[in-house]
Structure 1
Amino acid sequence: MSEEVEAGFNTSLYVAVPLVTGFWLIVAAVGLILPFFLKNNKNRGVIGVSIVLTAICCYTFWLLAFLTQLNPLMGPNVETNVAAHIRRAWGGLGDEDNSEYPCFPNW
């Protein structure tokens, strides 16, 4: 990848949301169209409503689960010595100012 990705730019948001939305719209459309092909069935309205309601509920659940992952309420709980080891292992022992990270004191 020669392009630099802008900080905070989430490409999965622009791919996953339209893809899943399109899928559940197709399922809902099937639920709306299917009853017209079931002319002799007395439960055709119930079948159509069940399919459309299933599509709405599944899409709503997926959308809420997806959106909550974009801005998590809490992060991992890492002890100070573990965080320091991770910092050393990943080569983060520069002279940068770490005043905003209390678990990473300036060495």
Structure 2
Amino acid sequence: MTAYFPCVTFGQIAEILDEGQTSCALGSFLYMFMGPALCTCWVLGANYRSKLREKYNLVEAPAEDWVLHLFCSCCALCQEFRELQNRGIDPSLGWMGHLAQKQEARTVPPQTQSMSA
């Protein structure tokens, strides 16, 4: 997905990091049109990578955020997507899907309980 449509992957990551304030569609639109028009989609990508690092207290490695997004934005987006997945968040569900998934996990009763008297 990221190789052919990096704007979609970016939109999904942005929606999760902004906790629904930026929709996937808006994030994708910004990333898709900033690239060809201004050649600056790497600035937007680096900004969100920075947000991800701050949120989860991650080190800036293997290089600075802007370097990774400038020279290999697809790799950087894949790393960010995978980091969220490793933390139990599926960016492809969107923010509302993530909240619904969290709510569902809390309301499922344990399988070992029974209602017999």
* TM score, norm. by length of structure 2: 0.27
Q: Which has the higher helix share?
A: 2
* TM score, norm. by length of structure 1: 0.29
Structure exhibiting the larger radius of gyration computed from Cα positions: 1
